[in-house]
Structure 1
Amino acid sequence: MVSSVRLGAALAVALTLGACGPKGPPVAVEAKHPKRTWIEAGSATPRPYVSPYETVSGCPTTLAQAESVDRVIERGCGPVRVTPDYRLEAGSLTIEAGARLEFEASAGLFIGYSHTARLEIRGEPDAPVVLTSASAAPTPGSWEGLRLFPAAAGSSLAHVELEYAGDRERSALYVEAPEVSVERMRLRDCAGTAVHVSGDGWLARYRGNTLSGLSSPVAMLITPASATAFEGDNEFPPGSRIHVLKGFIRRSGRWGDPGVPFIVTGVIDVAGADEPATLEFAPGVELRFTEGAYINVGYYD
Structure 2
Amino acid sequence: MRLLLICLLLPLSLAFLSCDEDDGGGPSLDTTDPTITIVQPADGATLAAGNILIRATATDDDEVDRVEFYVDGTKIGEDDDDALTVYEYTWNASAAAAGSHSIRARAVDASDNDASDTVAVTISGGAGPTYHSDNITTDEIWYKADNPHIVTQDIAVWEGGSLTIKPGCIVKFDEDAGIGCGWTTEGEIVAVGKADTTILFTSNETSPAPGDWEGFGFFEGTTSSTRFSYCTVEYAGAVDGQAIYVAWGGVLRMDHSTIRHGAGRGIYYEHAGHVEQFHDNTITDCGSFPLALDPEYVRHLGTGNDYTGNDEGYDAIEIYYGGVETNSTWLDQGVPYRITENSNVWVGTMEAPIILTIEAGTTIEFESNAEMTIGNVVLAGLIAEGTSTEPITFTSAAESPAPGDWNQVWIAADAVDAQCRLSYCVFEYGGGGGGGGGGSLWISSAVPDVEDCSFGYSSAYGIYVEGDAYPAPATLESENTFYGNASGEVGEAAP
| TM-score of the aligned structures, taking structure 1 as reference length | 0.74
1:237-279 Cα shifts (integer Å, max 9, x gaps): 2551111011122211211111100011211222347643221
3-state SS of 2:136 partner? strand
1:249 alignment partner in structure 2: 324
How big is the shift at 1:95? 1.3
Residues 235 and 262 of structure 2 are in contact (CA less than 8 Å); yes or no, is this contact kept in structure 1?
A: yes
Bigger CA radius of gyration:
2
- In structure 2, what is the equivalent of residue 42 of structure 1? none
- Within 5 A, what are the aligned runs for 1:185-200? 185-200=257-272
> What does 1:258-269 align with in structure 2 at a 5 Å threshold?
258-265=333-340, 266-269=343-346
Distance 1:76 1:195 in 2: 30
Note the C-alpha offset of 1:77: 4.1
SS at match of 2:138: strand
Q: Secondary structure at the match of 1:106?
A: coil
Matches within 5 A, 1:194-209: 194-209=266-281
Read off the aligned partner of 2:158 and give its amino acid letter: E
- Unmatched segments (≥5 aa) in structure 2: 1-127, 380-495
Alignment check: 8 A CA contact 1:224 1:244 kept:
yes
Gap change, CA 1:253 and 1:99, over 3 Å in 2? same
The secondary structure found in structure 1 opposite 2:172 is: strand
Matches within 5 A, 1:66-145: 66-74=135-143, 77-90=146-159, 91-145=161-215
Q: Are the aligned partners of 2:317 and 2:338 in contact in 1 as well (CA < 8 Å)?
A: yes
The unaligned stretches of length 5 or more in structure 1 are 1-58
Q: Does 1:148 align with 2:213?
A: no
Q: 271-280 or 108-117, which moves further after superposition?
A: 271-280
Indicate the residue corresponding to 2:378 in structure 1: 300
Task: Find out whether 1:223 has 2:300 as its counterpart.
Answer: no
Q: How big is the shift at 1:178? A: 4.1
Tell me how many residue pairs correspond in the alignment: 242
CA distance in 1, matches of 2:329, 2:195: 28
Q: What's the offset of the Cα at 1:200?
A: 1.0
Which residue, out of 246, 249, 269, partners 1:175? 246
Counterpart-to-counterpart distance in 2, 1:111 and 1:60: 23
Which aligned pairs between 1:1-40 and structure 2 lie closer than 5 A? none
Going from structure 1 to structure 2, the CA distance change for 1:269 and 1:76 (only over 3 Å counts) comes to: farther
Structure 2 CA distance for aligned equivalents of residues 153 and 251 of structure 1:
22
- Cα distance in 2 for partners of 1:168, 1:161 equals 19
Q: Which moved more, 1:110-119 or 1:70-79?
A: 70-79
Asked if structure 2 preserves the Cα contact closer than 8 Å seen for 1:202 and 1:226, the reply is yes
Q: Distance in 1 between matches of 2:213 and 2:350?
A: 39
Cross-structure match for 1:184: 256
Relative contact order (alpha carbons < 8 A, sep ≥ 6): 1 or 2 greater?
1
Q: Which residue identity lines up with residue 293 of structure 2 in the other structure?
A: I
Contact 1:208/1:233 (<8 A) preserved: yes
| Overall identity of the aligned pairs, in % | 25
Q: Distance in 2 between matches of 1:211 and 1:107?
A: 21
Once residues 350 and 260 of structure 2 are traced to their aligned partners in structure 1, the CA distance between those partners, rounded to angstroms, is 38
Contact 1:261 1:285 in 2 (8 A): yes
- Residue 144 and residue 276 in structure 1: after superposition, are their counterparts in 2 closer, same or farther (change >3 A)? same
Corresponding letter in the other structure for 2:378: Y
Show the counterpart of 2:235. 164
Q: Contact 2:148 / 2:171 at 8 angstroms: preserved in 1?
A: yes
Q: 1:297/1:178 Cα in 2 relative to 1: closer, same or farther (>3 Å)?
A: farther
C-alpha distance after superposition, 1:158-185 (max 9, x if no partner): 1001111113615001111444221111
SS of the equivalent of 2:257 reads strand
- Please tell me whether the aligned partners of residues 168 and 191 of structure 1 are also in contact (alpha carbons under 8 angstroms): no
Indicate conservation of the 8 Å contact 1:76/1:100, yes or no.
no
Rounded Cα–Cα distance in structure 2 between residues aligned with 1:223 and 1:280: 16
Normalised by the size of structure 2, how large is the TM-score? 0.46
Deviation digits for residues 36-78 of structure 1 (CA, Å, limit 9, x no counterpart): xxxxxxxxxxxxxxxxxxxxxxx99221112311222235542
Tell me by how many angstroms 1:220 deviates. 1.7
User: Is the Cα contact below 8 Å between 1:133 and 1:165 reproduced in 2?
Assistant: yes
CA distance in 1, matches of 2:129, 2:180: 18
